[in-house]
Chain A
């Protein structure tokens, strides 16, 4: 099952058009799986981990029953998508097609 899901994951996520790279980060900010080089990975992992935590706490401060579902940071050159969870963080960097 894990292998199936892995292949699914690989195809779905990494196979999409415009995706530059993906990173999976654990709750402590450690990159588990990545398609980018080490320095970039650690940079993204560290920054986005803290960022997501901050975002989540902001959402929950406003409404305790609410929760963060997705974080999208669009910049001039690319879009960073972060799917948060308590344990893990899935980060995808995509070049949005225009």
Chain B
């Protein structure tokens, strides 16, 4: 081994061993956190996040553009003839046929077929092989839930959508639907909005069958029930427009601008007449106009809806809905913007008599009014947030009403098949079907037809198909389940009973109200009389009180004297006693007289208490009492204390008697209220019973 490096050191220069020692802790360095750096960081609540090893998915609906198709058929008349033979040439065809008949093939197969056929024919003639041996029992109807199914939707083909404000079914079977399109928003209609209204064929929902082109958009439409080709429309500009569908989309005639309505025509209905050409229309300018469609230049009749019956247009109410029942051709009803229903008679002699009566009850415009087709005396109105049913006889209020709904009701109609069913549409796009025999507090069926508000509703005469029009120009066709569109047994009689019961209830309430009013009036008149009388004896009650005071004074004095006498009788002081006795005797005599007087007064007081409100006797008594009270008051002013308490009791008694009379009056009123409650309870119980019956049925 080589020595590569020599390292030498003196022994004395070696280091000493390390000697370790303890030392207390001492902070060497302290670095504080710098708060200014906090702003660079965000406080985050700790959270768990799971991650999964799978793909991220998203969902996206796609709708293709609508493909419009139309159906058409081809009729194949004749074919299969060989090329060389002309089918129209009789001779050729006959020759061809004969040629085939002569083929052997033909004959053979025919024979064979003949045998087979012969067998079957004979079989048929012998016995009916398809005879039903087990007659099937009638299938029991399973009670199904009420449903309404959307069959199709007719959309406004224009870019700018308008509200469907009026609907009318074709009178002949209802295969076509006429819809009036108009934007009712005040001044919000865009300039390029189309004015057209359409007639739709139910089989072809993709495009309207025919367009009606007026000069201003139509607010309402009606098919002539006698002639399915003619239509009348009321336009936004106030004119009445007549169409004949055979003549095309352009109107046949307009009403003249001078004599027509000055506001949009909200409702137009054809009338039943011999000529079949009469109609009447209503508008918010306050007029009802009658027209003969052969001459639209001038209305035949005019009625101003002035409730004060003066024919003053300024005071007139704006009409929004009309009602006409062909079975009652002289009467009609108008629903107004102010919430009042006006019932009118067309055949009245003077214009003032035309307005028969008014019914008030709604807080807002009445958008629909219709008589019950089975019970024409009852009619349905819809406005603000309720639907109300009225009876013609009761003018004060409606006989039945729904509770306040969440949104505005825009249109309603009765079912033409069932007297207890009516339908309403609301601003939130919901169609409600109400069945009064089943449930009165809620609709039996509530269907959300559209996202937009529903403005109009029309049911077909079969009661099963209905159309409702929305704000965005969509007319939805719905099919109601058979349960709601077939007449149940006993339905008519039950509904008649229900209407009668409700009408009766309202009548009783009206009568009670009148009675109470009469009583109050008579009482107020009497109190006026009493006040007139009491100018002389203003202090009548006070006098009586004073009188009673004095009575008690005397009674108490008598007692006290008796006790004094007894005390003094105990003391042997005869002279004093005698004197006092004499004095007492005298006083007793006086007291007796006073007692007698007091008794008389008491009787009189009692009589007076009973007969408070009468005339002459009172006066005399008052006079007597005044004198006596004054005398006694002077004599007996001395004693007080306990007497006052007793007075208080007396006063309480008096007041008690007065109160008794008041109580009697109150009892009478309570009785009245109890009777009302009883009637209402009866009504409710009946309703409950009816509900239970309806449900069991």
Closest to A19 in B: B121
Taking residues whose C-beta sits less than 8 angstroms from the other chain, chain B's interface range is 20 to 34
Does A88 lie at the interface of the complex (its beta carbon under 8 Å from any beta carbon of B)? yes
Does A51 lie at the interface of the complex (its beta carbon under 8 Å from any beta carbon of B)? no
Contact across chains for A83 and B80 when beta carbons are under 8 A apart: no
List the A side residues contacting B121 at CB < 8 Å. Answer: 13, 16, 18-19, 81, 92, 94
Partner of A72, one of B105, B109, B111, B120: B120
Contact across chains for B107 and A1 when beta carbons are under 8 A apart: yes
Contact A28/B128 with A69-B116, A87-B106 known, Cβ cut-off 8 Å: no
Does B78 lie at the interface of the complex (its beta carbon under 8 Å from any beta carbon of A)? yes
Does A60 lie at the interface of the complex (its beta carbon under 8 Å from any beta carbon of B)? no
The majority secondary structure among interface residues of chain A is mixed
For the complex formed, measure the closest distance between the CB of B84 and the CB atoms of chain A, giving whole angstroms.
Answer: 14
B67-91 contact mask (Cβ, 8 Å, vs A): 1 or 0: 0000000001111110000000000
Does A63 lie at the interface of the complex (its beta carbon under 8 Å from any beta carbon of B)? no
A12-34 contact mask (Cβ, 8 Å, vs B): 1 or 0: 11001111000010101110110
Contact across chains for A9 and B111 when beta carbons are under 8 A apart: yes
For the complex formed, measure the closest distance between the CB of A46 and the CB atoms of chain B, giving whole angstroms.
Answer: 7
Contact across chains for A29 and B80 when beta carbons are under 8 A apart: yes
Contact across chains for A18 and B112 when beta carbons are under 8 A apart: no
Stretch at the interface among B40-48, B96-104, B309-317, B604-612: B96-104
Contact across chains for B120 and A33 when beta carbons are under 8 A apart: no
Per the bound structure, the CA–CA distance linking A96 and B102 in Å amounts to 32
Does A97 lie at the interface of the complex (its beta carbon under 8 Å from any beta carbon of B)? yes
Contact across chains for B110 and A24 when beta carbons are under 8 A apart: yes
Contact across chains for B118 and A12 when beta carbons are under 8 A apart: yes
Per the bound structure, the CA–CA distance linking A98 and B122 in Å amounts to 13
For the complex formed, measure the closest distance between the CB of B114 and the CB atoms of chain A, giving whole angstroms.
Answer: 5
Per the bound structure, the CA–CA distance linking A26 and B77 in Å amounts to 17
List the A side residues contacting B114 at CB < 8 Å. Answer: 8-9, 12-13, 90
Contact across chains for B76 and A16 when beta carbons are under 8 A apart: no
A64-98 contact mask (Cβ, 8 Å, vs B): 1 or 0: 00000110101000010101010110101010111
For the complex formed, measure the closest distance between the CB of A8 and the CB atoms of chain B, giving whole angstroms.
Answer: 7
Does B52 lie at the interface of the complex (its beta carbon under 8 Å from any beta carbon of A)? no
Per the bound structure, the CA–CA distance linking A24 and B101 in Å amounts to 10
Per the bound structure, the CA–CA distance linking A13 and B118 in Å amounts to 6
List the A side residues contacting B14 at CB < 8 Å. Answer: none
List the A side residues contacting B120 at CB < 8 Å. Answer: 70, 72, 81, 83
For the complex formed, measure the closest distance between the CB of B113 and the CB atoms of chain A, giving whole angstroms.
Answer: 4
Contact A88/B117 with A26-B100, A30-B81 known, Cβ cut-off 8 Å: no
Contact across chains for B124 and A79 when beta carbons are under 8 A apart: yes
Does B187 lie at the interface of the complex (its beta carbon under 8 Å from any beta carbon of A)? no
For the complex formed, measure the closest distance between the CB of B162 and the CB atoms of chain A, giving whole angstroms.
Answer: 49
Does B125 lie at the interface of the complex (its beta carbon under 8 Å from any beta carbon of A)? yes
Contact across chains for A90 and B125 when beta carbons are under 8 A apart: no
Contact across chains for B113 and A88 when beta carbons are under 8 A apart: yes
List the B side residues contacting A96 at CB < 8 Å. Answer: 124-125, 128, 130
Contact across chains for A2 and B102 when beta carbons are under 8 A apart: yes
Within 8 A of B (CB), among A34-68: 42, 46
Per the bound structure, the CA–CA distance linking A19 and B131 in Å amounts to 19
For the complex formed, measure the closest distance between the CB of A90 and the CB atoms of chain B, giving whole angstroms.
Answer: 4
Indicate the member of B97, B101, B113, B125 with the most A CB atoms within 10 Å: B113
Contact across chains for B113 and A83 when beta carbons are under 8 A apart: yes
Closest to A1 in B: B107
Contact A32/B125 with A69-B116, A85-B112, A88-B113 known, Cβ cut-off 8 Å: no
List the A side residues contacting B77 at CB < 8 Å. Answer: 42
Per the bound structure, the CA–CA distance linking A9 and B116 in Å amounts to 12
Contact across chains for A18 and B113 when beta carbons are under 8 A apart: no
Per the bound structure, the CA–CA distance linking A79 and B79 in Å amounts to 26
Contact across chains for B109 and A85 when beta carbons are under 8 A apart: yes
Contact across chains for A5 and B111 when beta carbons are under 8 A apart: yes
For the complex formed, measure the closest distance between the CB of B124 and the CB atoms of chain A, giving whole angstroms.
Answer: 5
Contact A87/B78 with A5-B111, A32-B100, A94-B124 known, Cβ cut-off 8 Å: no
Contact across chains for B116 and A83 when beta carbons are under 8 A apart: yes
For the complex formed, measure the closest distance between the CB of B617 and the CB atoms of chain A, giving whole angstroms.
Answer: 100
Per the bound structure, the CA–CA distance linking A46 and B117 in Å amounts to 20
Contact across chains for B128 and A98 when beta carbons are under 8 A apart: yes
For the complex formed, measure the closest distance between the CB of A7 and the CB atoms of chain B, giving whole angstroms.
Answer: 11
Contact A46/B124 with A13-B114, A32-B101 known, Cβ cut-off 8 Å: no
For the complex formed, measure the closest distance between the CB of B87 and the CB atoms of chain A, giving whole angstroms.
Answer: 10
Contact across chains for A97 and B125 when beta carbons are under 8 A apart: yes
For the complex formed, measure the closest distance between the CB of A98 and the CB atoms of chain B, giving whole angstroms.
Answer: 5
Per the bound structure, the CA–CA distance linking A35 and B255 in Å amounts to 63
Contact across chains for B113 and A33 when beta carbons are under 8 A apart: no
Per the bound structure, the CA–CA distance linking A44 and B114 in Å amounts to 18
Per the bound structure, the CA–CA distance linking A85 and B114 in Å amounts to 12
For the complex formed, measure the closest distance between the CB of B412 and the CB atoms of chain A, giving whole angstroms.
Answer: 43
Contact across chains for A33 and B97 when beta carbons are under 8 A apart: yes
B507-549 contact mask (Cβ, 8 Å, vs A): 1 or 0: 0000000000000000000000000000000000000000000
Contact across chains for A16 and B112 when beta carbons are under 8 A apart: no
List the A side residues contacting B130 at CB < 8 Å. Answer: 74, 96
For the complex formed, measure the closest distance between the CB of B54 and the CB atoms of chain A, giving whole angstroms.
Answer: 47
List the B side residues contacting A72 at CB < 8 Å. Answer: 120
Per the bound structure, the CA–CA distance linking A19 and B114 in Å amounts to 14
Contact across chains for B125 and A18 when beta carbons are under 8 A apart: yes
Closest to A28 in B: B80
Task: Taking A5-B107, A33-B97 as given, write out 14 further A-B residue pairs in contact, using a Cβ cutoff of 8 Å, ordered by the A residue number.
Answer: A1-B107, A2-B107, A8-B111, A8-B114, A12-B114, A12-B118, A29-B79, A42-B77, A69-B116, A72-B120, A81-B121, A85-B109, A90-B114, A96-B124
- 8 nearest CB pairs, A to B: A28-B80, A90-B113, A83-B113, A29-B80, A83-B117, A83-B116, A16-B121, A12-B118
A-B contact pairs, 29 of them (CB 8 A): A1-B107, A2-B107, A8-B111, A9-B111, A9-B114, A13-B114, A16-B122, A16-B125, A19-B121, A29-B80, A32-B97, A32-B106, A33-B101, A42-B77, A69-B116, A72-B120, A74-B130, A79-B124, A83-B113, A83-B116, A83-B120, A85-B112, A85-B113, A87-B109, A88-B113, A90-B113, A90-B114, A94-B121, A96-B125
B residues apposed to A, CB below 8 Å: 76-81, 97, 100-102, 105-107, 109-114, 116-118, 120-122, 124-125, 128, 130-131
